[in-house]
Structure 1
Amino acid sequence: MNIRQAQPSLYLYGGGALVFLIVAILFKPFTVINAGERGVIMHFGEVQDQILSEGFHPVLPVYTSIKKMSVRVKKTDVDVKVGTKDLQILDVKASVNWHIEANKVNRVYQQVGDDRQVRETIIIPAISEVLKAATPQRNAEEILKQRSSLKEEIERSLKPRLAKYGLQVDDVSLINIGFSPEFTKSIEQKQIAEQEAKKADYEALKASKEAEAEVNRAKGTAEAQRLLKQSLNKELLQKQAIEKWDGKFPTVIGGTGTLPLINIAPPKN
């Protein structure tokens, strides 16, 4: 075959490849499911039981369409005004991490819709309702002191509500709890009063201990003096004087000392 005879075949091959490329671009007989996604298969708009996992998949153009759904963890923040048992109004900001269960993406899309619709239709209303149900069981001060307990209660209530829609709760956080200025001031005053009461109790206890120590010291001094007085009799004092005598007699010793009066005159020459 010469070059002129080969040219029509080359043109035909090149034209076929171009047509295939155009068809592939227009009708896309394949789809690629990226990491963190699942593919919902629809035949003329009817959701199928099969779910496409990550990777390359051939599809029938026109007959089959694919809706990609993310199964990654998403974060939704909600600001809610709630009431308390003692009729306080709180501004609560909660954050929920959640994801669509991978084996239920087709039912989620069929019943609710895409990610945005799931968030607006299911997630936000559920968080708001659970918060409004949990806070009236406590007064404002209990919420302030039992924040972790409130978080756990909200998480326990939220999980089964979302699970029936094929949604999984990963974590719940109470980012902020805002109290009214009046309540905040009353809490500060109460804390100051408690600190002052503790200080007063400490000072009273300290004074009591110091007084008790002073009484004990006084009792000890009195007891020592009593014992000393008992021990200082006439014989003991005379004995102590004799022990201290240097053997020299004074010329005259008078008075009412502990030793008897001794008059010793010097010898006459």
Structure 2
Amino acid sequence: METVKKNPGTKRNFKLGGITTAAVAGLIVLVVGANSFAQVEYGHVGLYKTFGKLDSNILSPGIHLKIPFFQTVIQVNTQVTKAETDTSASSKDLQPVSTHVAVNYSVNKESAYNLMNNVGRNVDAVIINPAVQEIVKEVTARYQAEDLIAKRDIVAGEISEHLTNRLAKYDLIVNEINIVNFKFSDAFNQSIEAKQVAQQQALKASNDLKRIEIEAKQKIAQAQAEAESLKLKKQEVTPELVQLKQIEVQEKALEKWDGRLPSVTGGATPFIDIQSFTNQP
């Protein structure tokens, strides 16, 4: 009876084949396992998408199971997002106005399915920008160009109110709106600058006039005070006071007199009553 010898190479091939199969199976399990989970980031909600169809079930932030390869989870940002829009319009007095508007908005979590199913991800271009342009044109046309600057907060409030009502139809929440800039034509800017200069000059002239009036009143008051003072002084002068002053002057003259009469002739000699002094005891 002939003995069949075993080939060592065949045994080795079987062993290598088994290892390869196990590795492939492990890799498949790993890939399938990795595709069986999806993570929804913080500040987002998730929606299942199976064969291109959205599921209305809202997924909160965290890890969620899904069908590998056939199901995905799309994420909808529910944080406050900023959309910026440039608009061109005309004011009530037909001045061209360019406006840069920034809108802070957010998505209603409970209505994420309706938004994604009816609008999609490109909310800014599809919904917000056209709405802002239309509303800004409508509101701007109700104001004079100068009032758009002076009543900026009121204008922004009207735009915010109209935009809030418009975006509510799409379950979008308007958190805040800012008019970043109003831009007018060069001719209008020059007219505004000239008007401001004229107002400043008028204010300066008014202030100068008030200053001159105050100074004139001060001088009149000072003159009146001096006149009143002089009047009071005149009322105090009596014949007795005049005589007393004369006596004071004569006494001062005697104190300075050296006893000799002036030697200069041709002039009047001051009269001094010497007898009144000699008769004194």
TM-score, normalised by the number of residues in structure 1: 0.81
- Is residue 39 of structure 1 aligned with residue 50 of structure 2? no
Change in CA separation of 1:19 and 1:219 when aligned onto 2, cut-off 3 Å:
closer
After superposing the two structures, state which structure 1 stretch, 71-80 or 123-132, moved more: 71-80
Instruction: Name the larger-Rg structure.
Output: 2
Give the residue type in structure 2 aligned to 1:91: S
What per-residue deviation string (whole Å, max 9, x for no partner) do you get for residues 97-151 of structure 1?
222222221111011011x2x1111010111111111111211111111212222
Distance in 1 of aligned mates of 2:21 and 2:193: 87
Given the alignment, which residue of 221, 229, 233 partners 2:226? 221
How far does residue 71 in structure 1 lie from its aligned partner after superposition?
A: 2.0
- Is residue 264 of structure 1 aligned with residue 258 of structure 2? no
SS in 2 for 1:113: coil
Given the alignment, which residue of 85, 88, 91 partners 2:98? 91
SS in 2 for 1:201: helix
Give the residue type in structure 1 aligned to 2:137: K
Change in CA separation of 1:246 and 1:213 when aligned onto 2, cut-off 3 Å:
closer
* Count of aligned pairs between the two proteins: 253
How far does residue 15 in structure 1 lie from its aligned partner after superposition?
A: 4.7
Distance in 1 of aligned mates of 2:166 and 2:211: 57
Give the residue type in structure 2 aligned to 1:100: V
- Is residue 161 of structure 1 aligned with residue 166 of structure 2? yes
Gaps of 5+ in 2: 1-11, 262-267
How far does residue 242 in structure 1 lie from its aligned partner after superposition?
A: 3.9
Residue of structure 2 equivalent to 1:101: 108
TM-score, normalised by the number of residues in structure 2: 0.78
Give the residue type in structure 2 aligned to 1:156: E
How far does residue 186 in structure 1 lie from its aligned partner after superposition?
A: 0.7
- Is residue 30 of structure 1 aligned with residue 31 of structure 2? no
Kindly report which structure 2 residues correspond to 1:1-269, keeping only aligned pairs within 5 A, or say none.
14-24=23-33, 28-61=35-68, 64-114=71-121, 116=122, 118-242=123-247, 245=251, 262=273, 264=275
Runs of 4+ in 1 over 4 A off after TM superposition: 7-15, 246-252, 260-263
Asked if 1 retains the 8 angstrom alpha-carbon contact of 2:43 and 2:77, the reply is yes
Distance in 1 of aligned mates of 2:161 and 2:47: 30
Q: Give me the identity figure in percent.
A: 29
SS in 1 for 2:73: strand
